[in-house]
Amino acid sequence: MQSSQSNYNRMNQPFSGFSKLSKEDKINWIAKEYFSTPNEAKALLKQYWNSDAKIQKLHDEFIENTITNFYIPLGVAPNFLINGKYSTIPMAIEESSVVAAAAKAAKFWSTRGGFTATVMNTEKIGQVHFTYKGDVSKLELFFAKAKATFFDDTASITANMQKRGGGILNIELRDKTNLIPNYFQLHVTFETKDSMGANFINSCLEQFANTLKREAHNYQSFSEEEKNIQVIMSILSNYVPNCIVRAEVSCPIADLQEKHITNPQDFAERFVQAIQIAEVEPYRAVTHNKGIMNGIDAVIIATGNDFRAVEAGIHAYASRSGQYSSLSHAKIENGIFTFWLEVPLALGTVGGLTSLHPLVKLSLEMLEKPSAKELMQYVAVAGLAQNFGALRSLTTSGIQEGHMKMHLNNILNQLEATDEERIQVRKHFKEHVVSHSGVVNFVENLRK
């Protein structure tokens, strides 16, 4: 299937009304405009539709301008012993070796006490950003007098959340004029229980903005200029440094011994040094943390949460000292090896895709319908397990040996290898290092 440059060049002005076309017409237009073999393009798009019309309609309505489904494999990593209880963790990801590494780490630690996970806080944040030109002390006095009104004006929004034990925790006035002239914030903290709470938080913030403008306009002590508060925007923050979960493993150094760890003391010391490098070297820290996110994102996607929001918040947290650094840490103390991470995770197990996507519901049921706090623990543990698996490989046999063996299937699929060729390739590369060029050459020789 080849893209048609000549067709593309014909489209020299915006397409008006594309969103109003039927799904079939959208596909026909795309196939005609961008592909030299339109029927082949249309057939491929339709091949990935769900055969159940009801499920397909559900997927079509998740986003806009839907033309097909883009599949990502859903796998599982069993044998996770977390806080004394075994679990199997669902992981949706397209990258080879991630699920295998997590499962291997889970099995390793299941015989060494397992993982412990603790939710340290669940506070979420939203802000109303505004400008005010006038006496700051008058603004502070105004806010102190109006603060109760902000709570009163959102009572109808927060009623259901309060019944579940959540709601607005606090509202602060923050002076940011040292950063931008006349810039202030209402900095608001929330508890949203098992809901991620984005819609709830944003609804509260927009009401705060209306209340702020109304109350300022009616405040007699303000001059006319001071009454003219300009709200720039009202929006939740995905940086949640007080919504933290900790995951940890530890055991006597001698217990680290296994087939690939013949010298536990040397392994533990190299492991700690690898972590220390990621703590001080940003170039290493980025790749180190990407490995952690392999585990975290996979569980977040499988459970219908927003991995983009989590990624942004976690990477901001990794930079909180002013330099990007490792999310995980390790130490050796009194003969005990300890490895842990702390990450901010704003997650939900009710609302959004959690109640709509059939596979999300299945994943949550696999996890025995966890609360948001429990899901935070599963996600953090998956990240720690993935990181342990990567560092164990890096400090022993190297990362490529295991990764390329897992990647072998992808190479064989690219080459459209037959069943007989696959058997011979796997037999050969049991004794040889896997590389893309090596596999290509071997298959080409077989075909000669």
- What three-state secondary structure class fits 336? strand
Cα separation, 108 vs 104, in Å, equals 6
Give residues with Cβ within 8 angstroms of 232, minimum separation 6. 129, 130, 131
Residue in 33, 95, 123, 421 annotated catalytic: 95
Q: Is there a catalytic annotation at residue 403? A: yes
Which residues are bridge partners to 191 per DSSP?
A: 167
Q: Is there a catalytic annotation at residue 306? A: yes
Question: In CATH, which of 3.40.630.30, 3.40.50.300, 3.90.770.10, 3.40.50.970 is domain 76-119+244-397?
Answer: 3.90.770.10
Strand locations in 144-277, DSSP E?
167-175, 183-191, 230-237, 244-252
Q: Is there a catalytic annotation at residue 225? A: no
Cα separation, 5 vs 301, in Å, equals 35
Pairing type for strands 124-131 and 230-237 reads: antiparallel
DSSP class per residue in 402-438 = HHHHHHHHHHHHHTT--HHHHHHHHHHTTSS---HHH
Residue in 124, 129, 357, 403 annotated catalytic: 403
pLDDT digit string (tens) for the chain, length 448 residues = 555 444 444 556 788 899 999 999 999 999 999 999 999 999 999 999 999 999 999 999 999 999 999 999 999 999 999 999 999 999 999 998 999 999 999 999 999 999 999 999 999 999 999 999 999 999 999 999 999 999 999 999 999 999 999 999 999 999 999 999 999 999 999 999 999 899 999 999 999 999 999 999 999 999 999 999 999 999 999 999 999 999 999 999 999 999 889 999 999 999 999 999 999 999 999 999 999 999 999 999 999 999 999 999 999 999 999 999 999 999 999 999 999 999 999 999 998 888 899 999 999 999 999 999 999 999 999 999 999 999 999 998 665 555 566 667 778 888 888 888 888 888 887 777 777 788 888 888 888 8
Domain edges within the chain: 5-60, 76-119+244-397, 124-237, 403-447
Residue in 248, 297, 306, 374 annotated catalytic: 306
Q: Is there a catalytic annotation at residue 329? A: no
Cα separation, 396 vs 108, in Å, equals 15
What is the Cα Rg of the chain in Å? Answer: 27
Give residues with Cβ within 8 angstroms of 109, minimum separation 6. 81, 115, 249, 385, 388
CATH class of the region 124-237: alpha beta
Q: What is the largest CA-CA distance in the chain?
A: 91
Q: Would the pTM count as exceeding 0.85?
A: yes
Residue 137 vs residues 131, 141, 264, 388: alpha-carbon distances, Å: 15, 6, 62, 52
Residue in 163, 290, 369, 432 annotated catalytic: 290
